[in-house]
Structure formats: structure tokens, C-alpha cells
């Protein structure tokens, strides 16, 4: 296989022996070839893989998957940063074995991580990396295991055969996109107050809602990115509203920007040297949820949830 490009492979397994049988040789090949090798797994599966790897375990950097797989947007950014740094440090190719940390509490969580796996194919297409994703059929719901065949172009079984159920990443994300959340009562903001005035108004609104300091600072930064995007592309911002209820806080920005129903918007890391594209990506990192929709007048509506 060429050193260029991203290879995304699915492993589903029924027991620790099957895990070791496939994942350990995958990692060992990377060690033998002089690649930078990572494994993000649970402590118990780290023991399984270390035992199976033997001396090659010394060439693998193990990461606790509870730290690595906290939230899809954060995980995307973290992996992108790691891959960029390793490539800049001279790594010819990076090899990763990763397992989610059992984020299966709700159907919404399951859908978010299925979408994450689809996004990886587009987000990391340019990285010289091989990623093997493991799903333990003893822990993962059957529908998640089945859905992962839509998101991985290669199956680990039978020596790495193409997956006939693989789908276009954008279509997978589109099919899993949640319905817009119900908003609390909303209150308009002073759209003509200028950047400083809007910042003062938004800060006061968040204080009144009881939003914590860290979340408020992140929201201010995210709002700045969204507004900066709009102004950068010559759009006006005819409407800004906020709403809160209990622990919920949402900021809505309406912009006279062209609406594009791109399900991957804000999910793809900006490429090095790119002059645009970072605003929505950063805003997704800083908020718990970001929604894009078409406004009544055909423009763009962005909702940022703290």
C-alpha cells in the first residue's frame, strides 16, 4: 500500500481472542515498518493487546479511550491535531487502533458516533494514516455494529476486503442528522450595536441565565467565529436572539448568507494554509451542539447551544 492516503477499516469481534488475533498483528506491522503506532483502548483491552504483541508492545503508544472518545467533535479535532503533529515531526505513516468508550446510553449518542465514523473518511482523506476501529459485539448494540458497515470502506476480516455496505459519508451524516431541538422563549439582541456592543449584551444575557464562566467564554468565542464568517463573506446579520430555560442556553444568529445543505459543514478540519473554513469548525468545538438551517427568507440560521 502507498504511504499516501487514509485507510479506514472496521473490526467487529466477539471475544478477546478475536480482538488479539486481528488488532495485535495490525499494530505489530506498524511497529515493524517504522510507523508511529497508537492504540486508544480500555485498560482491560490494553492488557489483551500487550500480551498478544509481546516485545512489539514497546513500540505502541497506548491511550485510555475514556480520555480520547469524550465527544465526537472533540475527538475529531484531537485526532487531527495528533496526525498533523506527527506528520510535521517526520512520521512517514501513522497507524491507530481505536475503540469507543461505550457511548451507547441513548439512540442520539449512538447516531452521533456513527456519524463521526462517516465523517472521518472525508476529514482525514489527506492524512497518511491507517485507522482500525474495533467494535466489541458483547458491548455495542447490534444496530451500531451493523451501521458501522456504512461508515468503513474496508472490513478487517478476510485480509481486508472492501465493504459492500459502505456509503458516501455526507449521505450517512445527512440520514443521521437529528431534528432541530425545541428552543426556549427567545429574546432579540441589538444587531446594530457593533461587535463590542454585541459582546456586552451577550455577556449580560449569559450572566442572567446563570451560565458558568467557562461555557460563557466558549460561547463568546463561538459567536465571534460565526459572526466573523458572516461578515467575511459580505453577509449582513439581520437577527440575533438568545433563549434560556433551566440549564439550557442557546444563541441564534440569522445571516443573509447563501444556504447550502451540506451535512459536513463545520465537521472537516481546515487544511493547512486555508484562508477560510475554520469558523464553523471552531464553533462546533466550543459548543455542546450546533445547528444549521435555512431561514424563512432563504438565508442561513445558526444555533449555538451551550
Helix or strand run (H / E) with residue 66 = helix 65-68
pTM for the complete prediction? 0.90
pLDDT of 188 strictly over 90: yes
Element spanning 94, H or E = strand 94-98
Contact 253, 237 (CB under 8 A): yes
pLDDT greater than 70 at residue 276: no
Residue 102 has pLDDT above 90, yes or no: no
Task: Give the residue carrying C-alpha cell 505502541.
Answer: 60
pLDDT, tens only, 112-147: 999 999 999 999 999 999 999 999 999 999 999 999
State the maximum Cα–Cα separation within the chain, in Å, rounded to a whole number.
Answer: 65
> Where is 239: in which H helix or E strand?
strand 239-245
Give the lowest-confidence range in 175-184, 248-257, 268-277.
268-277
**pLDDT exceeds 80 at position 219:** yes
- Average the pLDDT over 202-215 and give the result: 96
Nearest to 140 by CA among 172, 105, 173: 105
Strand 239-245 vs strand 248-255: parallel, antiparallel, or unpaired?
Answer: antiparallel
Entry field: residues in the chain:
306
Does residue 103 have a pLDDT over 80? Answer: no
Instruction: pLDDT band for 4, please (50, 70, 90 cuts).
Output: low
The whole-angstrom separation of Cα 65 and Cα 237 is: 41
- Tens of pLDDT, residue by residue over 147-161, are 999 999 999 987 889
Amino acid at each position: 500500500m502507498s504511504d499516501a492516503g487514509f485507510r479506514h477499516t472496521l473490526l467487529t469481534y466477539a471475544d478477546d481472542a478475536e480482538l488479539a488475533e486481528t488488532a495485535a498483528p495490525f499494530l505489530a506491522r506498524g511497529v515493524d515498518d517504522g510507523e508511529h503506532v497508537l492504540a486508544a483502548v480500555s485498560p482491560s483491552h490494553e492488557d489483551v493487546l500487550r500480551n498478544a504483541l509481546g516485545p512489539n508492545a514497546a513500540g505502541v503508544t497506548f491511550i485510555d479511550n475514556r480520555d480520547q472518545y469524550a465527544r465526537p467533535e472533540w475527538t475529531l479535532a484531537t485526532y487531527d491535531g495528533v496526525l498533523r503533529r506527527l506528520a510535521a515531526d517526520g512520521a512517514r505513516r501513522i497507524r491507530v487502533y481505536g475503540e469507543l468508550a461505550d457511548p451507547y446510553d441513548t439512540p442520539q449518542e449512538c447516531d452521533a458516533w456513527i456519524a463521526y465514523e462517516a465523517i472521518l473518511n472525508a476529514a482525514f482523506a489527506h492524512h497518511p494514516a491507517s485507522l482500525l476501529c474495533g467494535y466489541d459485539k458483547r458491548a455495542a448494540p447490534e444496530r451500531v455494529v451493523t451501521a458501522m458497515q456504512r461508515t468503513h470502506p474496508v472490513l478487517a476480516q478476510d485480509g481486508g476486503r472492501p465493504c459492500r455496505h459502505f456509503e458516501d459519508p455526507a449521505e450517512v451524516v445527512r440520514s443521521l442528522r437529528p431534528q432541530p431541538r425545541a428552543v426556549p422563549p427567545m429574546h432579540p439582541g441589538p444587531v446594530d450595536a457593533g461587535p463590542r456592543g454585541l459582546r456586552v449584551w451577550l455577556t449580560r444575557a449569559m450572566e442572567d441565565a446563570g451560565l458558568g464562566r467557562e461555557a460563557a467564554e466558549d460561547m463568546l468565542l463561538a459567536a465571534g467565529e460565526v459572526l466573523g464568517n458572516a461578515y467575511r463573506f459580505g453577509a449582513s446579520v439581520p437577527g440575533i436572539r438568545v433563549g434560556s430555560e433551566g440549564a439550557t442556553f442557546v444563541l441564534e444568529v440569522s445571516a443573509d448568507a447563501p444556504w447550502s445543505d451540506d451535512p459536513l459543514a463545520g465537521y472537516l478540519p481546515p487544511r493547512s494554509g486555508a484562508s477560510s473554513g475554520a469558523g464553523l469548525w471552531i464553533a462546533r468545538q466550543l459548543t455542546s451542539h450546533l445547528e444549521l438551517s435555512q431561514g424563512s427568507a432563504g438565508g442561513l440560521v445558526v444555533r449555538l447551544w451551550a
